[in-house]
Amino acid sequence: AAGVIQSPRHLIKEKRETATLKCYPIPRHDTVYWYQQGPGQDPQFLISFYEKMQSDKGSIPDRFSAQQFSDYHSELNMSSLELGDSALYFCASSLGGRLRSGTQYFGPGTRLTVL
Amino acid sequence: RKEVEQDPGPFNVPEGATVAFNCTYSNSASQSFFWYRQDCRKEPKLLMSVYSSGNEDGRFTAQLNRASQYISLLIRDSKLSDSATYLCVVPPFTNSGGSNYKLTFGKGTLLTVNP
């Protein structure tokens, strides 16, 4: 079965540079979530999109922005990168709906290293 | 009380052992609960969903106690391949019909199954 695709899988940037992470959800999934997982930490929710509209916002820095496109893929744009942005960035997708739907399936993640 | 709290672990058990993890949650209105497992540097993978009193899948049993607001995960006959971090996840309750299930993860419980 098709899974969530994230690209790139690894990214190395220097401080103050910009980065763009891409996420392609499971086909027919309309909701995308972004999570950040620092070393030894649990995943922290950043932002989510449902039907191309931002549906929820978590601890996402102002330096970051994201959007969901008409084909439901999403991009996380990160500017003025800081050393503390080094982390695993996971994208998850789900099928929107009530209570029992919406199980999130995670992509393999993008490992961002800021030097 | 934190939104989601888990047994801190780590748990080190021999193969074949039975091990149980507990997770408490603060929002009494929560309707659904999930256990994810995460291998080192990999994405969280859904292990079990719990919507009513519990769920069983082979060697894995999840139980929900709404009165005490905790869920547990029981692993019987532990295998070496069960070694991973187990994450308790409680989405916020919503009846909006939209999909804004940002996941709140517990800190995770590290399980190591030894030969």
pLDDT tens digits, one per residue of B4-62: 889 878 999 999 999 999 999 888 877 788 899 999 989 999 999 888 778 899 999 99
A43:B51 CB<8 A: no
State how far residue A41 is from chain B, nearest Cα, in angstroms: 7
Residue A50: predicted pLDDT: 86
Q: What is the pLDDT along chain A (115 residues), one digit of tens a residue?
A: 789 999 999 999 999 999 999 999 999 888 899 999 998 888 999 999 988 888 888 889 999 999 999 999 999 999 999 999 999 999 999 887 544 456 789 999 999 999 9
Residue labelled with tokens 């801190």: B8
A45:B102 CB<8 A: yes
Instruction: Return d(Cα B83, Cα B32) in angstroms, integer.
Output: 25
Residue labelled with tokens 């399936």: A105
B49:A103 CB<8 A: yes
Q: Which residues contact B23 (CB under 8 A, 6 or more apart)?
A: B4, B5, B6, B7, B33, B70, B71, B72, B73, B88, B90, B106
Beta partners for B24? B5, B70
Q: Does A3 contact B at CB distance below 8 Å?
A: no
State how far residue A62 is from chain B, nearest Cα, in angstroms: 19
